[in-house]
Structures are given as structure tokens and as C-alpha cells.
Amino acid sequence: MKIVDIKLNNFRIYRGETHVNFGSENGKNIHLIAGKNGFGKTTLLTSLIWVFYGKQMSQVEDKYKIDIRHVGGYDKYLETILNKDLKREFDTNETNIAEFSVELALEDILIPSIPCKKLVIKRTYNYKNKKENLTILIDGQENELTKEVGYEVFINDFILPREIAKFFFFDAEKVVALAEAKSVSELRSLSKAYSEVLGIKKYEDLKDSLHIILTKLRKNGASKLDQKKLEQLVDKNKELRGLIDLNENKQLEIEEAISGFRLSADHIQEQLIREGNAMTLNELKSLKDDRDSKKKELQEAKGELKKVIDIIPLVIAGPNLKKLTKQLEKELKLKQKHLDKNLLKRELDVFSNEIKNEISTIGITKEHLNKIGLALKKLREVRDQKSEVVTGEILLDFDEETTRTILATYDYIKNSFKSQFSQIVKKERDLRQHLGRINRKIKKGEVRKNNPIALKLREDKLDLTQKIETLSLSKGRLIEELDGLKKLRASNKKVLSEEEKKFKVVENDKKKHEVTLVLLDKLKVLTARIKQEKKYALQTSILLGLNKLMHKEKFVSKVNVRIEAEVMDIDLIDSYGQNIDKDTLSKGEQQLYATALLNALVEQSGIDFPVFIDSPLQKFDKEHSSNVIQQFYPKVSDQVVLFPLLEKELTKAEYKLLEPHLVGVYLIESKSQGSSIEQYPIKDLFNQFNKQHVLTH
């Protein structure tokens, strides 16, 4: 699938119609759109997200969720998209035009059962009547399928699911954040992304649907009293889900507020430095960057320390924990045998019934009938033999997730706890000391205490610091509250499941119940197998990507993807079989790892869609940049669109490496009436950029 044409009309900084045509050329796949900060690169990316998803763009990335909430909802957000000058003219009756739109044309798109050479998506918003409109044309005509399923559903199901859109429209720095995941919530996000991109979520959703069917069937056989109890548990589950969503939204709001206060505090700090003339702004920026980096590291180290401290009671319980794990291992094996037995029993029963039904419809000799009867008898004997193998006693009866969590914890305590605890304690102490030294240096840059201007600035800064601390405490309480809510919900779901099992299925539903159980058992086995297959494929893809991109030969010899319940983590193993601490990687190496991860996710998704990359080379050194240019961009997708800052992110030497893969290059130009996008010959891009630089200075 390729985007061949983009048309923006009155979209933010782009006044009037802005047209970008993406041509094609055999063997080449990269388009480059360059422009200075503030000229409209991010706006162009936002326009693409909006035309595809509209109101649902908040589900693509938290950034859009925050932006929409900040202005007071989606309707208010739409008003911010209309070109400011045009909006002002409309509000003062200077024009009656008050509409913006984005239109995309796509080719090489496969729609099952529908011939399609070209598909056009256009989303329009009229500021005058507050109406948003979406149209989809297939080869110039409306199609019954798109109307029947709904335009929004069609885009999500046939073009690009919004859950994974962020991996095709991404900021290189944000991908690094994905790769740096350490906390449980961050690892859950990584696991969710993995599940969505690789298609596993569909199977998990199907399992949830089957559980809902089982609940309904069991509910039919419950007494009125039991039904009321069940409804209360279901309502409680919904209530907890709502409280969890509310908590997470509050955390996003607090993070946004803290970010704003920190920006203001940094501005005041710069004013203090100017007032005192004791430190250059560059020196301040360097110290500030170091301080922020160390604060983040310290917070992470404290989180790691807390997690390790939480395990200490289990360490003290050593011998008893060992006994517990041995019993759980026995029970896990025993349950698996039971599962295998039950599956075999059901499958043989179904097979026997199918054979009997088939026999009744065809003529058959008595001799053949006897032979079939003997065969079925032998199958039952095999089934019974399998049943006899299952021996032992279930004492604890923990669910599989709990069992595997305890086993993993014991393994960690036995093999890694001591050394990791010492490392984390030392790391936390060193970071606190380093942060203290930085803060003392910053204070030295401030002016004398009796300076009236400085006193006022210090008061303002102190006020902001207190607000940040108050909000941080609030966020900490919300994090603790969220953990409690999630535990309550898990407990409630377990009680709900146990209550359902008590109900007797009514006669009319028994067959449905049996079929649903069979399907659920098979789906569990299938999902586990698919997860393993995808896991190994992902490991291989990440390793190949790293070896291509990193200049250190065989720096990473093995990649291990660990998936436990809802948490996924990735281990990088060196040639000595030791885990590589990702914190020890340079910023450039971290981005390379993130790039390899992204490439693997896109590759394993099997989705054919263009990849758009903002700030593509921000933290790479020269050698790594050349590897990324030659090994990643030409191969990650059939169509790649880059949004670099020329000279700062992409040098002339790096551009030379890109040239053999370039289809077209474009420059965002700022004019009095707004920004526009102009295409230039590939060889002439830097000349035109330098002319633009002269004109704007």
C-alpha cells in the first residue's frame, strides 16, 4: 500500500490548498520532507492521523489525548485546527469560508472481494455549522461495503488498525522510550503493543467473548438470588474498570501540568543566571540536561529498589518458598495432564458421534459395522488409559498466572537477587550524590541573595517547585491507588469466575456450553502456541536488525523475549552469555536498539503500510547513522517518509548515502500567508534550504 497524494486545505499553518504528490520509481522507496522547527512538519503528521481516525485519534497516542483534553474536548480541538488567520477573518465577517480538510489517495491496496486501483479518503470539518464529514471513494465511486460496515470501521479493519498506527507514524525519540521500558506499567505497554502488532490481541479478544458466552449460559441456570449476586459482581467489575480509567486520565493531566511548571521553572533559572552573569546559558543548559537525566535515573533506581525490597520477605522465607514452588510445579504438570485428558476425551466423543452419524446415512455391511465398532472401542480404551496416567493431589489450586509468577520469583531469588540488590543500592547512592553536586553548581550561578529581582525570581521558582512536589505526591498516591484498584479488579474477576462455576447449566444450553468449553480449551492451546511462534520470530528479527545496525561486531549475540502474564521484557545477551544492562548503552545505541525493535514489530505485523518517521537521526553518531540509512530506511517498508532537520539531524554526507533510495524531496517553506510544501530536484535540496536560511535571517 502506498500514499500517492496528500491535499491539505486550511489545516493549521497551511492556508489554502497544499498539495504533495508522492511519485514512484522502481527500486527506490524514500521520500524526504524537510523544514525548520515551527514550519509545519508535526502539523503534516497530525493531519495524516486526523484524516484516518478523526475523533478516535486520541486512541492512537497519548499526545493527542492530552492535547484534546487540554482544550476541552474533541469539538474544541477541531476549532484549533482551522487556520488561525482564516478563523479570525470568519469571526470578523471578512470571509464566509470556514472549512478545513485533508484528502489522501492510496494505491496498491488490497480489499478482499473488491477490485481497487485507487482509494481516496477525505475528512472535512466546517467551522460554521460544526459538522465533520468523512468520504471514501473506491476508483472514484462510493462502495456499498464501506457504507455497510461504516467508514471509520472500514479504515480500521482494511487500512490500518488505530491500535498500531503509532508504529507507522512515529517520533524516533518516542520509540526510544518504548525500548527503555523498565516499570511494570511500561512493560505492560510494551506487551500490549507486541500483542496488537502481532495479531495476538484478536485471539485474546475471542477468548474474552467465549468467556462472556459461558457466563450467559451459566447464568441461565442460576437462581434469582444467584443471578442478583452475579450482576452485582459484574457491576463491580465495570465500576472498577471506570475507576482505573479515571485514575489513568488524572495521571496524564498531572504529568501535563508538571511538564508546564518545569518549563516555567527552567525559564526562571535562566533569568537568574542572566541576572547574576555567573554562568553562561550553555553551561546552564548542560547542567540542566544532566540534572534531568540523573533525576530520571534516580527515580528509576528508586523504583527498582522498591521492587527488590518488596521481595525481601520472600527471601527470608527461603526454605518454605522452596517447598511451595515444588508443590506448584507438581500441580502445574498435573493440571496440564488433566487438560490434555479432557481435550482428548471431548475430541474422541465428537469423532465417535460424527462416525455414527455418517454410518446412519450410508449403506454398510454387518462385517464393516463390527470393525468400526471395535475401532471405536479401542479409541475409548486409549482414552481411558490416558485418564489413568493422571494421578496426584491438587492442594493449592492456584491459577496458571499466579503459579508461573511465584515460580519466576523463586528463580529470581535463587539466581539474581543478591547481586542485583547490591548493584541497585550502589547505583541509587551514586546518583543521589551526583545530583547533589549538580544542584550545588546551579545554585552558584544564582546572584546575591539581597538582589530584589533575584529574590522575586527565587520566590516564583520556589512556588513552582512546591507545586511540582505537590503534584508529584498526588501522582504517587494515584499510582498506589491504581495498583490497589487493579488488584481489587483481579480479585473480583476471580470471585466472579468461581461463582459462575457453581451454576448448573440448563438442559437446553448443555450442548452450547460443551461446544464453548471445547472451543475455549483449543483456543487457549492455540494462543499459547502462536505466542511462542511469534516470540521466536520477534527474537530473530530484533537480533538480525541489531547486527546490521550496530558497528560493534556481534555486540549482541542473543535476544530473549520474556512474556509473563501481561508483562513483556526483552533481554539482550552478549557473547559471554551475560545480560547487557540497557542503561549502559549510549543514547545512540539505545536508539539503534529501539529502531531494531520497531523494524521487527513492523516486519512481524505483516501489515503493508507506509512508515513516517519524525526526527529520524537525532541521536545517532556518524557510523550508526550510515548503518540506519543503508540498512533500515530502505527495508522497513515499501514507502518511507522522513521528516529531518537538515544540517542538525541530516548532514550533506548522510544525505549522499540516502540519495540512491530517494524518490522525491520536499521543502516546507514559510510565507506571509502560511506554510507551503515545494518539491525540488534531489540534487538541489540543500541549495534551496540554504537560500531559505538566508531569507529568514
**40 in the Ramachandran plot: left (φ > 0), alpha (ψ -120 to 50) or beta?**
left
In tens, the pLDDT along 378-395 reads 555 655 554 444 455 666
Residue 402 is predicted with a pLDDT of 65
Displacement of CA 133 from its chain's centroid (Å): 29
- Count other Cβ atoms within 10 Å, centred on residue 407: 16
Residue 38 is predicted with a pLDDT of 79
Please give the grid coordinates belonging to residue 120. Answer: 481516496
Taking the C-alpha atoms of residue 128 and residue 375, their distance in angstroms, rounded to an integer, is 77
SS3 222: coil
Lowest mean pLDDT among 256-260, 507-511, 635-639: 507-511
Q: Which residue has the cell 518516542?
A: 174
Residue 370 is predicted with a pLDDT of 62
Most confident option among 318-332, 386-400, 461-475: 461-475
The residue that leads in pLDDT, 621 or 55, is 55
**pLDDT tops 90 at residue 562:** no
Is residue 255 within 8 A of residue 483, CB to CB? The reply is no
Please give the grid coordinates belonging to residue 208. Answer: 474474552
Residue 12 is predicted with a pLDDT of 92
Is residue 82 within 8 A of residue 16, CB to CB? The reply is no
Please give the grid coordinates belonging to residue 395. Answer: 492442594
The residue that leads in pLDDT, 420 or 619, is 420
Residue 315 is predicted with a pLDDT of 61
Taking the C-alpha atoms of residue 511 and residue 292, their distance in angstroms, rounded to an integer, is 62
In tens, the pLDDT along 621-657 reads 566 677 777 777 788 888 999 988 777 777 888 888 8
The residue that leads in pLDDT, 291 or 57, is 57
**pLDDT tops 80 at residue 548:** no
Taking the C-alpha atoms of residue 298 and residue 302, their distance in angstroms, rounded to an integer, is 6
Q: What type of residue sits at position 524?
A: K
Taking the C-alpha atoms of residue 138 and residue 156, their distance in angstroms, rounded to an integer, is 16
Taking the C-alpha atoms of residue 90 and residue 584, their distance in angstroms, rounded to an integer, is 56
Is residue 125 within 8 A of residue 82, CB to CB? The reply is yes
The residue that leads in pLDDT, 348 or 651, is 651
* Residue closest to 38 by CA, chosen among 653, 692, 658: 692
Residues whose CB falls within 8 Å of the CB of residue 132, separated by 6 or more in sequence, listed in order? 54, 55, 78, 123, 124, 125, 126
* Residue closest to 566 by CA, chosen among 174, 193, 306, 237: 193
**pLDDT tops 90 at residue 187:** no
Please give the grid coordinates belonging to residue 558. Answer: 542473543
**pLDDT tops 90 at residue 666:** yes
Q: Which residue has the cell 539466581?
A: 415
Average pLDDT over residues 353-381: 57
Q: Which residue has the cell 455549522?
A: 129
**pLDDT tops 90 at residue 102:** yes
Mean pLDDT of the chain: 76
DSSP state of 157: I
Average pLDDT over residues 417-437: 78
**pLDDT tops 70 at residue 258:** yes
Taking the C-alpha atoms of residue 550 and residue 593, their distance in angstroms, rounded to an integer, is 9
Phi, psi angles (nearest 5°) of residue 48 = -70, -40
Taking the C-alpha atoms of residue 355 and residue 607, their distance in angstroms, rounded to an integer, is 42
Is residue 193 within 8 A of residue 61, CB to CB? The reply is no
Please give the grid coordinates belonging to residue 620. Answer: 545517532
Q: Terminus-to-terminus CA distance in the chain, angstroms?
A: 41
Displacement of CA 683 from its chain's centroid (Å): 38
Q: What type of residue sits at position 331?
A: E
Average pLDDT over residues 399-410: 66
- Count other Cβ atoms within 10 Å, centred on residue 69: 17
**pLDDT tops 50 at residue 365:** yes
The residue that leads in pLDDT, 546 or 17, is 17
Quickly count helices (H) and strands (E) in the chain.
21, 13
Pairing of strands 99-107, 2-11: antiparallel
Please give the grid coordinates belonging to residue 453. Answer: 529581582
Residue 389 is predicted with a pLDDT of 47
**Residue 470 parent element (H or E):** helix 452-502
By the 10 Å C-beta count (0-12 exposed, 13-18 middle, 19+ buried), 259 is classed as exposed
Residue 390 is predicted with a pLDDT of 45
Percentage of the chain lying above the pLDDT 70 cut: 70
Residue 377 is predicted with a pLDDT of 63
Taking the C-alpha atoms of residue 235 and residue 239, their distance in angstroms, rounded to an integer, is 6
Q: pLDDT band at residue 181, thresholds of 50, 70 and 90?
A: low
Query: DSSP 3-state helix, strand, coil percentages of the chain (rounded to 5)?
Result: 65, 15, 20
DSSP state of 97: -
Is residue 574 within 8 A of residue 546, CB to CB? The reply is no
Residue 387 is predicted with a pLDDT of 47
Taking the C-alpha atoms of residue 378 and residue 389, their distance in angstroms, rounded to an integer, is 17
Pairing of strands 30-34, 640-643: parallel
Taking the C-alpha atoms of residue 474 and residue 250, their distance in angstroms, rounded to an integer, is 10
Cα distances from 350 to residues 355, 386, 387, 505, 518, in angstroms, run: 9, 17, 17, 20, 10
By the 10 Å C-beta count (0-12 exposed, 13-18 middle, 19+ buried), 204 is classed as middle
Average pLDDT over residues 27-51: 89
Listed in sequence order, the DSSP H helices in 317-416 are 318-361, 366-389, 400-415
